[in-house]
Amino acid sequence: MRNMQMSLAPRRAVAALAALLLAGSVAACGNSDTGSEGGGDNEKIVMGFSQVGAESGWRTANSTSVKEAAAEAGIELKFDDAQQKQENQIKAIRNYIQQKVDVIAFSPVVESGWDTVLKEAKDAGIPVILTDRAVDSADKSLYKTFLGSDFVKEGRLSGEWLVENSKDATGDVNIVELQGTTGSAPANDRKEGFAAAIAADPKLKVIASQSGDFTRAGGKQVMEQFLKAHPKIDVLFAHNDDMGLGALEAITAAGKTPGKDITIITIDAVKDGMQALADGKFNFIAECSPLLGPQLMELAKKVHAGEEVPARVETEETTFTQEQAKAALPTRKY
Ligand code: GZL
């Protein structure tokens, strides 16, 4: 029996040693499952980015800024175009969680409906950065920071310009409004800011307001309806240049002169919009800068390093009249 015991002993020792080695190797594997490849100091940060879509010149410029800045910053960028559908953004964010990226950044196509997926990211220990548009989640711990414009201010500046430039008007000034994507932060906030500003002058009346979904086609289609329904339109306020540019086609097709028969105010200041302003077809543009890439990458590095970042980072922007557009166009970056 003893011999048996003796003969078993070395085997048991070998088995114990093998078990120890195996446990060690599993632990090592277990670490690699937690994405240790992204854990080393000198490893590339991996960012999962969910973009709204490619609906406007602004969006195209924004995507270019994000991609170029990621390359410049040495950040590995996983990029998804949601084609303006919230379900596609939620799917992309879930994929990034599965892939255990180091940070998730996205521009939410609409304000509501994000709490569940943002909580999944938080529970997975992946920090989220909002860029461009905001969410209406009450739980501010679901994201680290929001980098983007003040859309209410953009709407207010647009309305203030109109108040200032309508002083000599006799009788009502009929305004039609092309809203951005229904439920989106820019559409909600720009509408709010503009309405608050024009309340200063009771002559200024919004007689029609409808979404053109931030696209040229949408702007043209809705403006055609406005022109059919309203014989006297004095002002068009479009939530972005692209809908204003689409509306130009409808206005000229109706035999009216844009910039003269109908005053046109837009937001963004992309190159095509600035050209229309310089050509006298638009009358005023409030800028909304899409060049968020460099700031986004700096924030991602800080968040990944566990550094504190401000809850809100507001982009700097200005406004343009026709004369200012002529001066700015030659050096315009987007
Ligand atoms: C604003 C951005 C808006 C632009 C539109 O930050 O979300 O979406 O104003 C774009 O041109 O489609």
Q: Is the residue at 39 inside a domain? A: no
Supply the range of the domain harboring residue 209: 151-288
Closest-lying ligand 1 atom to the alpha carbon of residue 185 = 7
In the chain, pLDDT over 70 holds for what percent of residues?
A: 87
What is the 141 CA–ligand 1 centroid distance (Å)? 25
The model's pLDDT over 183-241, given as tens digits with 9 standing for 90+, comes to 999 999 999 999 999 999 999 999 999 999 999 999 999 999 999 999 999 999 999 99
Q: Is 96 in the pocket of ligand 1 (CB under 6 A)?
A: no
Count how many domains the chain has.
2
Q: Is the residue at 122 inside a domain? A: yes
- CATH number of the domain within which 74 lies: 3.40.50.2300
Q: Which of 258, 260, 261, 266 lies closest to 284 in space, CA to CA? A: 266
Q: Are residues 254 and 188 in the same domain?
A: yes
The answer to whether the beta carbons of residues 111 and 88 sit under 8 Å apart is no
Closest-lying ligand 1 atom to the alpha carbon of residue 239 = 9
Q: Is 132 in the pocket of ligand 1 (CB under 6 A)?
A: yes
Q: Are residues 260 and 305 in the same domain?
A: no
Q: Is the residue at 16 inside a domain? A: no
What is the 59 CA–ligand 1 centroid distance (Å)? 6
The model's pLDDT over 38-92, given as tens digits with 9 standing for 90+, comes to 444 468 999 999 999 999 999 999 999 999 999 999 999 999 999 999 999 999 9
Q: Which of 94, 105, 160 lies closest to 127 in space, CA to CA? A: 105
Q: Is the residue at 325 inside a domain? A: no
Q: Is 282 in the pocket of ligand 1 (CB under 6 A)?
A: no
Q: Are residues 143 and 269 in the same domain?
A: no
Q: Is the residue at 7 inside a domain? A: no
Q: Is 149 in the pocket of ligand 1 (CB under 6 A)?
A: yes
Q: Are residues 177 and 276 in the same domain?
A: yes
Q: Are residues 140 and 156 in the same domain?
A: no
Q: Is 55 in the pocket of ligand 1 (CB under 6 A)?
A: yes
Angle between helices 271-278 and 241-253 (to 10 degrees): 50
Q: Is the residue at 30 inside a domain? A: no
Q: Is the residue at 242 inside a domain? A: yes
Q: Are residues 50 and 159 in the same domain?
A: no
Q: Are residues 108 and 175 in the same domain?
A: no
Q: Supply the pTM of this predicted model.
A: 0.87
Q: Is 188 in the pocket of ligand 1 (CB under 6 A)?
A: no
In the chain, pLDDT over 90 holds for what percent of residues?
A: 86
Q: Is the residue at 20 inside a domain? A: no
Which strand (E) or helix (H) includes residue 77?
A: strand 76-81
Residue 106 identity (one-letter amino acid): F
Q: Is 58 in the pocket of ligand 1 (CB under 6 A)?
A: yes
Q: How far apart are CA 104 and CA 316, in angstroms?
A: 23
Q: Are residues 271 and 183 in the same domain?
A: yes
